[in-house]
A and B are shown apart, each in its own frame.
Chain A
Amino acid sequence: MSVSIDRSLDWFAQQNWTVFDFQMQTWKAWHWGKSGLIHSPTGSGKTLAAWLGPVQAALDARCGSKNQSPPANEAGLQVLWITPLRALATDTVKSLTAAADGHELEIRIEARTGDTSSRIRERQRYDPPFALVTTPESLSVLLSYKEAEKTLAGVHTVIVDEWHELLSSKRGVQLELCLARLRGITPDLRVWGLSATLANLDVAMQSLIGPGHEGVLVQGLVPKETEVKTLLPETMASFPWSGHLGIQLLNPIINSVLNHNTTLLFTNTRAQSELWFRALLEARPDWVETLALHHGSIDRTLRCDIENRLRDGKLRCVVCTSSLDLGVDFSPVDQVVQVGSPKGVARLLQRAGRSGHRPGAVSRVLCVPTNTLELVEIAAVRLALKKRRIEARAPLTLALDVLSQHLVTLALGAGFRAEPTLAEVRTTHAYKDLTQTDWDWVIDFITRGGQALKGYPQYHKVLNVQGVYRVMNKEIGQRHRMSIGTISSETQMSIAHRNGRRLGSTEENFIARMNVGDVFQFAGKSLELLQIKDLTAYVKPAKRRGRFVARWGGTQMPLSTELADSVLDTLDAWRNKTIKTLELDAIDHVLAIQMLWSHLPGAADFLIESIHTGSTNSLFCYPFAGRLANEGLAMVISERLTRQNPITLEIQMNDYGFEIQSATKLPDDEPTLRALFSSDKLLEDILQAINTGEIAKRKFRDIARISGLILDRYPGRSKSARQVQASSGLIFEVLQEHDPDNRLLDQSRREVLVAQLEFKRLESALQAVAKRQWIIKRPERLTPLSFPLWATGVQSQTMTSENYQIRVERMLKQLELAASK
């Protein structure tokens, strides 16, 4: 055991801190050479639990202790600290350094992220610090250098912060692969994860430390109390049945902000945060210095500035998105506001935890509904919290795009041999079931470009040089390094002032639709578009209020299964009068209307509404399976319908259900509907639907980027790179036509199935509704449940078996009709 644990105890005492049991447990486990996962709420001292083991060992080594746990060589890189957000790196370096200083240990701790200058990054490769704070992408880039193994040979510990954030993403898979490589270099590597509470902690830990490895699951502090309150409209009469803005509640929110020191106001989308910021500032121009807007597309320097002012208590209110979900301690924050549905229990807990960021303090969150049904969700989230129904996060598996990127990275670094690398890759949770066939395909893909590339004698991305796979072409190598990263994105267009000062970025399509002279809202400012050049939109401040608000892609999170179930339970409880909350009281009349005009569904029944509106017929079905699985269900039903007759169907979905709309009559009798909802041939039908629909093509964008089929565009890229520019949709079509067996197409379909449409959830939803009592209603008008589906009309999909020309001409007729109104 380390003698230096005592030094930590002394330091804690000096600071007047208590050492928690879980911290001591982690230190000891670390000294025994173990790996593990610490789960504890934010602000509970997880960082020190994970960090001080290596610090104590370094002290021991310095004091000449006879302990064997510290590594023999004192110089060189020893600890990697992985953070999901590069914005957190600087703060992490600060807090790690403070702890080391407290132990009177002089070591270098540095950040290495996409923001680190190339000079420093270069130096770090040859003269690394004791600990490097980095992101999964930057770690991957580090592996792409020839001397990577030498640089990383002394690393004995990897600490992964906020592992729950990375876990179910491709970035998590990328990290799993990097960790496997590090374990290949140092077999007794210690890997420690820090995570918030999840329902599947054991899986989270196994995917981090590698299946089959023994780990310690450390339970940190018991979660803080969370108090959920709701801001109710004064009168419900004019409160909308649908919508997602919630500006009606602006004035009470302003009052609530005035009653607190610092408020974080979370919205669910970036566009929504822009609108809220504008509304607040228009109502309170005197807040111009103390109100700020923070979201992921605002330039990093501006965001840092806001974070600093927030920490210093100089801001009254920050309107933000998930960009402030994580990390840094903003102690002045004493109120968290959530605008719109929280979508999940864990997410609301995370956000609530941003206030009272001290061990033991109660977190409070004020929920602001944007439509009547969200009031049910708020009541439901409280119910779920009481029953501690927290969501699980499943790690991804068998992503061949991430694997091919990783293998090119290794080939670019020290080079790799097939057999040991396959064995190493299979030590990860993500690829433990990787087949030889898939492996061979990936090797073929990176060396010869896949089966279909026989026609390319010059293809030479990765070469097999006497059994070692290497990248020999410098340009290919550089391009690969630049494109490492698995976070997907649309082509982004920079927004900058005339003098070049950057404000942030937005979707290219958004800017492309504007004219020079148009005014739009971005980063909380009204901006006039001056010129577009090299993927940069130059702007100047405008006095006018913009018509447009910047827009970003990305799908919204679905309502979690836990919360959706809780919604049904809440509705049942309301019907049975076993629950009484302010939220449900407020919408009593709306729920009553739903019952009167149609039916209010609960956990035991399945409601379908068949409604005729204007010239269209719609089926509204409510399986309460979350937005994604609802879309999948709608696609299956539509696929089955289009097979019967030539017909075009439009699909809309939300978290509760979906709408299938058609110009012709749709069946609405129970036997026919039951047949349409059958579980028979489910997989077959949904794959067919995915093929005919656009959805696989859309999903392919990420895969194409990660596997190197499309290059990111950015300002200043040379002309020659433009010659190899093509949209992912086009590449998808070319592959389908000329290389239909390409595994990446398969992966795309699989991802659509698993991630995009939540196939498992879809399957169980179908089984669940089959057992419920079916209630088919034919209301004369739209009901509180159907209205939001009918009114949103975004996110729609089309399934068609109609002749192309007939369909287009019908659309033109519809446009004509709309124009003449």
Chain B
Amino acid sequence: MLNLHELQTARMSNPSVHTLPIAGTTLTLLSQRAIYWDDENTLLVADVHLGKEHVFGRSGIPIPAGSSETSLARLSTLLTQTGASECMVLGDFFHDTPTPQESWLNALQHFLDRHPTVQFSVVAGNHDKQAGQALIDGRIQWHSRAVHRAPFVLCHEPQIDVRGYVLCGHIHPVVRIKPAHQRGVRGPCFWQQSNGIVLPAFGEFTGGHAVRPALTDAIFMTGPDCIIPVPVKLLGSKNRRTEHG
């Protein structure tokens, strides 16, 4: 277990985290597409989409199983590394109502057993079907609407909430950096706006949606062991929000 002091020291030299002071507290953006909230010792992720490959399989589209297991393994590693006592999923924890035999349900059970002291909760997203929640271990606490945890509002879809600064998912933001004469790179990112942050999708088998941030927004691109602040002004006018949009 990593204590807070160690984490802070690591942060000074570690490119894989980025610290953001917000509303009197501190959020640490992690390159693994998650946020660690220091004061509450809470790990936040969004859009895990567990069981998505099984939904394909059921519909006759042969996507191999295994990405859900990988997502859970990554989450497990993060919980161990941060020593978080709480894990909050900002919606779309699973992809569709699962059928009882699906392999990831077992993997989830093992995952929960491995972290007996962590408190898990999910703010239900558009994919988290009510019927499916019953099939998932009772240790997970479900919230059907936004959770207010001052100074933040934790929810799935981006929204403006007078109660506080919004942390959400749903969009699966990605950003593309492309200098002239080069193909450029594209990667998942955190998208910070004046009233909230959209988290990148945590799940393995999730696509991305190119964001069009405003000049006043901030973008933090995630890559292997790194998190890179991307100045919005460098994105080119086509990739920025204009007055019309």
Contacts and interface: CB of A to CB of B under 8 A. Distances in A.
A742 B64 CA distance: 9
Interface residues of A, number: 58
B63 interface: yes
Nearest to A806: B226
B62 A450 contact: yes
Contacts of A819: 233-234
B99 A798 contact: no
Contact of B62 (A449, A473, A723): A449
Most buried by B among A445, A460, A724, A807: A724
A404 to B, nearest CB: 9
16 contacts: A694-B183, A709-B61, A709-B62, A723-B95, A727-B207, A730-B205, A730-B207, A734-B53, A737-B70, A742-B64, A798-B184, A805-B228, A808-B223, A808-B226, A811-B178, A811-B182
B196 to A, nearest CB: 22
Given A452-B64, A709-B62, A730-B205, A723 B181 contact: no
B63 A455 contact: no
A738 B57 contact: no
A815 B179 contact: yes
B64 A804 contact: no
Contacts of A737: 66-67, 70, 204
Given A650-B183, A694-B183, 11 more contacts: A449-B62, A452-B66, A453-B64, A455-B57, A456-B57, A458-B57, A515-B244, A515-B245, A735-B64, A811-B179, A811-B185
Interface string A767-795: 00000000000000000000000000100
Contacts, number: 153
A454 B63 CA distance: 11
Given A726-B56, A734-B63, A811-B185, A805 B180 contact: no
Nearest to A814: B179
B151 interface: no
A738 B181 contact: no
Interface string B230-245: 1101100011001011
Interface string B200-240: 00001111001000000000010111101011011000110
B177 A812 contact: yes
A711 B184 CA distance: 28
B102 interface: yes
A664 B99 CA distance: 55
A711 B60 contact: no
Interface of B: 15, 52-67, 70, 95-96, 99, 101-103, 127, 177-185, 204-207, 210, 221, 223-226, 228, 230-231, 233-234, 238-239, 242, 244-245
Most buried by A among B59, B127, B180: B59
B55 A723 contact: yes
A461 B62 contact: yes
Given A455-B103, A808-B177, A816-B234, A739 B64 contact: yes
Nearest to A548: B238
B179 to A, nearest CB: 4
Contacts of A793: 180-181
Nearest to A461: B60
A693 to B, nearest CB: 10
B54 to A, nearest CB: 6
Given A734-B64, A738-B66, A811-B177, A650 B182 contact: yes
B60 A804 contact: no
B180 A818 contact: yes
A518 interface: yes
A613 to B, nearest CB: 10
Contacts of B99: 458
A457 interface: yes
Shortest 4 CB-CB distances between A and B: which pairs?
A449-B62, A452-B64, A455-B65, A738-B66
Contact of B64 (A650, A652, A738, A811): A738
A796 interface: yes
A615 to B, nearest CB: 12
Contacts of B103: 455
A457 B63 CA distance: 13
